[in-house]
Structure 1
Amino acid sequence: MTASNHRRTKGAGTIIHRKDGSWEFRREIERDPATGRRRYISAKGRTKSDARERFDAKIAEMERTGLLPGAKSPYLKDYAERWLEEYRLNVKPTTYRTRAGRIHACMEVIGCVRLTDLTADHIRKCMRVLSKRLAPSTLKDHYVSLKMMLDQAELEELIPVDPCRRVKPPRVEPTETRILSPDQPKQLIEAVPNRGAKRRGPASTVDVDEMWMLLFELAFAAGMREGERYALMPYELEQRDGVPGIHVQQQIQQYGNPDEAVIPGWLKAEHLYGILWLTTPKTHAAHRFVPITESLWQRLWARIKRLGIGPKDLIFTNSRGNPIRSGTERYNWNKALKAAGLPEVTIHSARHWTASMTARANMPDDARTAIMGHTSISMTNHYTHRDTASLARLLGQAIPDLHDDTDVVDVQVIDEAA
């Protein structure tokens, strides 16, 4: 309720002096494009000058970031700041961290250009500068990130067209992920006790060796992602129609310390330790049931019972009882590879091995994507690498024999030097 209401010219706003003595400046802006409702910018203060100062500051900030049309177009770096704040609310913290890093790198090159002055040449310059220190695939992701932001600026009508549309994306040549042959994962797992890794803490050597053997086996046999394996708990072990398996429904991710991490309201995440959080799988498709062998099932349960692991406790932890870290697993993985005399491959290649083995067995596409937790067969095919033996077998089944052995002529080779 107002004590007095002084109307100003249209667009200039309204000054309101309230009964409690406070003042409010209010200005109507364009209607909400989604709902059509009227929108206002307002600021309150104990004095008229205080309210006016806050109001002007709010207007200046909105003009600076492009939320409100002003006399000048916002600088690209200011618009990026606002875009990232909105983007942060709709993605997982790891996705935001990666995207923000890409955007900030671009802003170091072209951030001081105003949005309306931005051209395709600025985009090309940005890519040229960044290409001196970035791998092609990473450079392309910088381009994609910049395009995402400028597409939004175009939708907001801050620019007539996204200049990225006039620039070819950086070229990236596909790289082949090296994987182990069909029989080599078994050699790797059996070499774990001989890897020679130093043991720290009070944990039993047998328990530690068993942990790495089980983690590596799950990577190959179930195609589980690293975070999914680290987050495995007894309650996820289920039997469906008499078939033992793992109901993958969570993962561990690095979201940051609790006092720094920004967790969107829609994301279910529970802090575990340090920067590690227990959260939902990567995608909806990653929430899946993966059958495992009876042998693996029994060995998992034997560990659970022997160590007294509760239904919602982590099956795999370090000597201090904290979650496994990727760096520690990578160290033990490389040690086991060396002990087995196997080629150097990444631990993520185990998922490529799983996808390749399912293709080798001619598993239907829908079953393969379900096992891998992918959203499309195209992604599963990206993980698939056909080995020479399986290609030869398939080609032999497809191509008939084009030569009649009865026409073979015996040739006698004469050694003229004899």
Structure 2
Amino acid sequence: MQAESVLPTAEPAATLADIASREGQPLKICLLGYRSQPYGGGQGIYIKYLSKALVEAGHQVDVISGQPYPHVDPRVKLIKMPGMNLFETGLGSLTWSHLRSLTNIIEWTGKLTGGFAEPRCFGRRVFKYLKHHGRHYDIIHDNQCLSWGMLKLQQRGFPLVTTIHHPITSDLQIALNAAPDWKARLLIKRWHSFLTMQKKVAQRLDNVVTVSERSQQDIASAFELQPSAINLVYNGIDTAEFRPMPEVAKKPYRIMATASADAPLKGVRYLLEAVAELAKRYPQLELLMVGQPQAGGATEQLIKRLKLGDRIIFVSGISTEQLVRHYAEAQVVVIPSVYEGFGLPAGEAMACGVPVVSTDGGALPEVVGDAGIIVPVKNSRAISEAVSDLLEHENKRKTLSAAGRQRIETLFCWQRAAGQMTEYYSQVMASR
């Protein structure tokens, strides 16, 4: 992938007097997300809750997003930046009007050849929009787009901050290891070809922030950066929404997981193998999975082989309130991931006062700490033994439930995250 041309700085940096006059004043913040629906993963959740926390801290926040669009607080202005949305509309949605836009052609041909061009094309659209309509923002905060358009914004003098949740190189390696043959590996490499762009962009960004110490180290290694050049602001959990519901009755032998069922990164295979083992000891056992497997995909096939079809309930597209109720009904939540840059499902479950069994993948130990049971990655037997331990010992479940809630309230609430992020924004503004 060739680097797109970047432009020389056209605007003078803010003076010290400008910075001083804004000290203690509400900021005008623009958050960017190339796809931000919260059901699609952690990036959408990050946009939703960070924007809400910043508004509650007194700042003015706009979100510019491509499809699928985020769910934002009514006080947050959503500026829609529609692309071709080919993952929903399909390649056949191309019309003659699309051909008037080079960006649309790039996006369509990328999908046609098995690539993922959304970040690059979102960056092109956002750059075009912000160079005409974005000069009033104090901070523009990119949520892991890492496109050439972001470099153009930076070189035009826009105050840019970029969050990198974790290096997608981790996803790539895990997917390659799980691929059944060379054809699948070829397709996986093609889809992840956007990483070439992201690595080059990351190396030239001035202000990078990430969400865990593990991500800080992994990003530095994958993108050839110094760890000290990557700032750390932990994610938060909305402890008002994700809360214990003592009025909801527990369902005996109900365990729960929130994971993209067909993504090797999420380790669902090891959870299913553990459930098959647990079912021998607990005939009443059932698993509620938040996520939907692909028809005929690897997860669906594994469920059939293990004869677990009557033990698993799949739910998707549910509201936050429904998700919290599901947590309240579960006796144990399992996080089977091979790698997490932070681990929002673990934090959400702990905030809801549900005991957690988590792997040690990525940053999960940073989130769970001693308030849950941590097992090695890719170890279905360890998951099975840990879940069995909790099912057998009610007092241990109660102890971890209380400890988990307290840990999230103390260390990982969004109010704290928003305060730390605001301090970082101020440092960025002062450094200009």
Instruction: Provide TM-score, normalisation by structure 2.
Output: 0.27
Q: Which structure's CA Rg is the greater one?
A: 1
- TM-score, reference length from structure 1: 0.27
